[in-house]
Chain A
């Protein structure tokens, strides 16, 4: 099929791909920031001594982790309007992605926090640090440092998951491939180009992950 592979169409559609590439980056970055925030809050609730907070965070994490993102996305896409909440599609998509990845981030951060020796927290209490000071100066710096690699792994998953937003008619990379397919009937050119753009993001994040790991090990040795 390569002999009929039409590069001219790809060049013609390159502006669209560029726009969609930026849209994917932007949607993912927004969801990523939200997800890390949600993850930190959910994790703090999960590990708190209050039973209600711990239970509700647990229910949130478990229910997200055992249902597919697509079902969650449709849940918000079809569910919010029936509650009378009208949001633009991209916001619905970002909310679904944020809540989905937030649960995974909560688990990642929890594993990081639980890897911290309990003596450190006790030392913090003994030094008279408040809960927020302990979090800010003792627990989070170590937990976040330890979890950089799984967090970047989840970021890669998030970027890939953002492709599902095309199913609720948000314009992003996968949608660009669908556009080329429906306008010119060239699925090969359309979806392979989309795949290449995703691979660019993947390799960038992977390189960053490898780099950060080396750097963190260096800091530890230092």
Chain B
């Protein structure tokens, strides 16, 4: 029986590759949007404006404190009540970008705060504008602290993208779920699903620990 199911599974491999493409598309779009929004919010969070800081802080807490599954249900089921009809794919990208942005916001804020104050003061003394300070002095140094957890966050993003299968986006997990109805060998089907995720995530995890090592050595040299 195993041989037969294995053969069947191999025949549905193109279907799995479509799922991989969907996972990559959802995570890729959310990665770009989440990184942009996260960096903006992270920079705003280190500003002196207390109201903006409080708003961003509350937003981060709410996103961190609730499960992603609930967030995606809220986006998918509640936004239509306000007149915003969304298909599953854009709803998934919005929810996932929002989640990623809130985490990246924290990473960027702590990275910026790790840059010694003297650097900023020296930049002010040299007559650099706010934007120039950020662009040429603070961010390049902060990137050293930001990079390793940022890549780690991307791994989490890809893993969290499996949850969007709950609203019917046909990603790898959903393909596995659909296949297992036809080929009742859960271990084999979800073993393949796991393998596909592993192939995407494992290089990123290694990149993260490599960056961590490299960045630490650089700090010691300074």
Contact = CB atoms under 8 A, between A and B. Distances in A.
B69 A78 contact: no
A16 interface: no
Contacts of B88: none
A66 to B, nearest CB: 4
Contacts of A177: 70, 73
B35 interface: no
B67 interface: yes
A66 B162 contact: no
Contacts of B190: 71-72, 74-75, 78-79
Contacts of B202: 62, 66
A17 B64 CA distance: 21
Contacts, number: 141
Interface string B204-215: 010000000000
Contacts of A62: 202, 205
Contact of A195 (B66, B81, B158): B66
Contact of B67 (A67, A174, A178, A181): A174
B185 to A, nearest CB: 5
A76 B161 CA distance: 19
Interface in B27-68: 61-62, 64-68
A1 B81 contact: yes
Interface in A41-97: 62-63, 65-72, 74-83
Contacts of B64: 156, 202
B67 A68 contact: no
Contacts of A134: none
A199 interface: yes
Interface string B65-102: 11111110110011001100000000000000000000
A125 interface: no
A142 interface: no
Contact of A63 (B70, B187, B198): B198
B201 interface: yes
A187 interface: yes
Interface stretch (A29-37, A114-122, A144-152, A159-167): A159-167
Interface of A: 1, 62-63, 65-72, 74-83, 156, 160-164, 166-167, 174, 177-178, 181, 187-188, 191-192, 194-195, 198-199, 201-203, 206
The 5 closest A-B CB pairs, nearest first, are A78-B186, A202-B65, A79-B186, A187-B77, A163-B67
Interface of B: 61-62, 64-71, 73-74, 77-78, 81-82, 155, 158-163, 165-166, 172-173, 176-177, 180, 184-187, 189-191, 193-194, 197-198, 201-202, 205
28 contacts: A65-B201, A66-B197, A67-B159, A68-B162, A68-B197, A70-B165, A71-B193, A75-B186, A75-B194, A76-B186, A78-B186, A78-B189, A79-B187, A81-B186, A82-B186, A83-B187, A160-B66, A163-B69, A164-B69, A174-B67, A178-B73, A187-B81, A191-B73, A195-B71, A198-B67, A202-B61, A203-B61, A203-B65
